[in-house]
Amino acid sequence: MQHALVAIILLLAVVLAPVHAQQGERPDTPQHPWMNKALSPDQRAELVLAEMTLDEKISLVHGLSMPRGTAPDPTTAAVLARSNGGAGFAPGIARLGLPDLQLADAAVGVARGAARGRYSTPLPSTVALAATWNLPLGHEFGALVGRELRDQGYNASLGAGVNLMREPRNGRNFEYVGEDPILAGRMVAQVIKGTEDQHVIGNIKHFALNDQETGRQVASVVLNERVMRETDLLAFEIGVKEGRPDMVMCSYNRIDGIWACENPYLLTDLLKRTWGFEGWVISDWGATHSTVEAALAGLDQEMPGDAHFGAALKKAVESGEVPLARLDDMVRRILRAEFASGIIDDPPVTRVPDVFAGFDLAQRVAGQGSVLLKNADGLLPLSAATLKSIAVIGSHADLGVLSGGGSAKVDPPGGNAVPPAPGEMGAIWHPSAPLEAIRAKAPQARVEFDAGTDPVSAAALARTCDVAIVFVNQPTSEGRDVPSLALPDGQDALVAAVAAANPRTVVVLETGGPVAMPWIDRVGAALEAWYPGIRGGEAIAAILFGDVNPSGKLPMTFARSDADLPQPKLPGSDLTPQPVPPPPGAPAGARRRAQLPPFDITYPEGLKVGYKWFDAENKTPLFPFGHGLSYTTFAYSGLGVTGKTVTFTVRNTGGRAGAEIAQVYVALPASAGEPPRRLVAWERIPLEPGQSRTVSVAVDPLFLSVFDVQKDGWELVPGQYTYFVGSSSRALSLRASTEY
């Protein structure tokens, strides 16, 4: 009750909070010809460009910030005062009616708002969204982010990451969308479209191959073109073509020795020419390394400052090193995006967000994205009518649920539910206590909590209860990778001790990605809840007690241990950081920082990312890609393939309503030289008990193709294609072949 009362007070504080002044508003200007909405974004951009001075053009292609330890001049200070306090700021041009660009990190909600008195909905991690396999829900996710960006006065999002989970220990996996390029690309496209539908500039990142945090600013990824196009770059291709973002953010790392933000193959040849991207390329923060090389390669805007695209770029244009036509292209792309997105015609107006709508969506995503990994003997759902005692153990379940860290972190309403020790940063916990939610579901039962810091104490409590629910966690964050798949802080020993004391043990995992589970054979049930957001406790309890029938499926493979991964040791983890001098322009006395020496990442699995590696190597995963249980059962029948359309029937053979995510995989002809199978389509099918539904799924020809480097294009290899349909990559009950 106390926590519920606090939540109500917090909500009232939000609802009664004063509305902030409007930010990023279009200045009051005469009606220039480019303000004619009947013109196309391209026409409007050309009209503006024709009126711009060289200095005005330069002002649009970089952000505005000040190095630490320096004070801005009065003019710069006045411009900086217009910043909304987000991750980035680029001043507009009042005389032309161009608004300030107010950019915010927004992968799982608008980041870093609490310090400015703003509320943002902490959504579940995007890997949880991927686990829903629900594309319309992805659009809702993006739309909520877009609305709350506008509510806070922002007009551009820096969210929507689609880096593949090649490295399951990557600290940013929680803000990405899994290991399969088709699932990841299609889901992120919906998030982008949802955001841009709110008249907010959308983004896709980090382009490309920024698949680990260790050494991200020095490492060079070495992969051949075919591998890149069929894996990581395919996810971006789908995201760019289906989502049509206005921005693409290039990444920190090198590709074959060339920085991503000055890589002409990535930025110009592929993104702009081959894929037809019409927006602009923005650098990751501090990822610009040159002026002439970066501009000629296709980078359009430097962030957060102007070290390379300010005075240095103006000089390069005046000397002819960078053609004026290239600068015009950079500016034109930004202008076009501002018109196409609607931020000029419909600028954001700040207001208090719809808190309850955010709560509702957060709980639906957590409910659909949580994955029931194991459920021996039907231990779940729990029955409130028959349970007399419940032990809730570990992971601060009495206070809140875990979130990811770094630039994607959304401030918890009311502050961190688990305050860190003095002088420590600590993980962030959202105030949605599973303990309270479980007590609300089982009001007649004795529900006791143990912190889980002492396995002996936890086991003693578990022994006295009808069921034990152990919460375990894996904190992850931008800027660092986890050392291994093992749970930290002795949590494996905790689970083992509790399971030994009570065989009716349920484990709830709050993780940013896959983890090893040496205890899995000794527990009754396991539920992967990811980082479940502001209504995580309620969503978890709803699944545990059967109010929600789980339907989530894994968007990645869970390996049994690091030894089963293509690279058992994280690349770069054995290197020693070396001190490097401060960057040019740093204030006097700036501290030297440590950085890993340059190294290569080769990714020996090549095309065989994730489940394709396990299939090709005949390795048995802990849990396969696409796996996820339900409280009901489903049967598949009647597979038929006509052209590139797959038809089959799914029937709910159990006693509960539920939703099945039916997955379609294809084995290409042997001559294609591909991994054994690839995901090409899926359908989320809600069914009542006994109900059946026949579905027809059209398979995109791109998803059946291989990339021919010599022809510089995709091709369908002639031969036999075998289709498989089922409930996961390792549970495929239907099979049919056809010739193309």
pLDDT digits (tens, 9 = 90+) for 138-165: 999 999 999 999 999 999 999 999 999 9
Q: Calculate helix-pair angle for 434-441, 536-544, nearest 10 degrees.
A: 40
Same domain, 422 and 526: yes
Banded pLDDT at 68 (limits 50, 70, 90): low
Residue 390 and residue 487 in one domain: yes
Is 432 inside any structural domain? yes
> Could you tell me what percent of the chain has a pLDDT over 70?
94
Task: Examine residue 482 and state whether it is found in any structural domain, yes or no.
Answer: yes
Give the CATH number for residue 482: 3.40.50.1700
- 422 and 505: one domain? yes
pLDDT of 450 higher than 80: yes
- Could you tell me the CATH number of the domain that includes residue 186? 3.20.20.300
Do 230 and 148 lie in one domain? The reply is yes
Section 593-600 average pLDDT: 91
- Residue 219 in any domain: the answer is yes
- Residue reference for tokens 């005469």: 30
In-domain check, residue 325: yes
3-state SS of 412-432? CCCCCCCCCCCCCCCCCEECC
Residue 351 lies in a domain: no
Q: Are 640 and 704 within one domain?
A: yes
Average pLDDT over residues 54-72: 86
pLDDT value of position 8: 43
Same domain, 9 and 100: yes
How would residue 73 be classed by pLDDT, with cut points 50, 70 and 90? confident
Would you give the end-to-end CA distance of the chain in angstroms? 63
Q: 377 and 328: one domain? A: no
Residues 412, 324 within the same domain: no
- Reported as a pLDDT band with limits 50, 70 and 90, residue 570 is very high
Bridge partners of residue 678, in order along the sequence: 666
pLDDT band at 118, cuts 50/70/90? Answer: confident
Whether 643 is covered by a domain: the verdict is yes
pTM attached to this predicted model = 0.95
Q: Are 330 and 455 part of one and the same domain?
A: no
pLDDT mean over 574-599? 78
* Residues 502-560: tens digit of each pLDDT: 999 999 999 999 999 999 999 999 999 999 999 999 999 999 999 999 999 999 999 99
Token digits of residue 125: 């991690």
Per the CB < 8 A criterion, the answer to whether 252 and 217 are in contact is yes
Q: What is the mean pLDDT of the chain?
A: 94
pLDDT at residue number 117: 81
Q: Which of 9-23, 101-115, 119-133, 710-724 has the lowest mean pLDDT?
A: 9-23
Residues 334, 393: one domain? no
Q: Is the pLDDT of residue 353 over 70?
A: yes
Show Cβ contacts of residue 512 under 8 Å, excluding neighbours closer than 6 positions.
125, 127, 171, 173, 174, 404, 474, 475, 476, 482, 530, 531
Residue 568 CB: number of other CB atoms within 10 A?
A: 11
SS (H, E, C) 71-137: CCCHHHHHHHCCCCCCCEEECCEHHHCECCEEEECCCCCCCCCHHHCCCCCCCCCHHHHHCCCCHHH
Catalytic residue among 100, 151, 284, 481: 284
**Domain boundary pick from 548, 577, 593:** 548
Note whether 446 and 501 are same-domain residues. Answer: yes
Q: Which domain holds residue 540?
A: 370-548
Is the pLDDT at 421 greater than 90? The verdict is no
Look at residue 562 and tell me if it is in a domain.
Answer: no
Active site residue 284: yes
**Looking at the domain assignment, is residue 400 inside a domain?**
yes
Average pLDDT over residues 85-97: 95
CB atoms within 10 A of CB 297: 22
**How many domains does the structure of the chain reveal?**
3
pLDDT score at 276: 98
Comparing 115 with 334, the larger pLDDT belongs to 334
pLDDT tens, residue by residue, 11-50: 534 443 433 334 333 445 458 999 999 999 999 999 999 9
Same domain, 49 and 110: yes
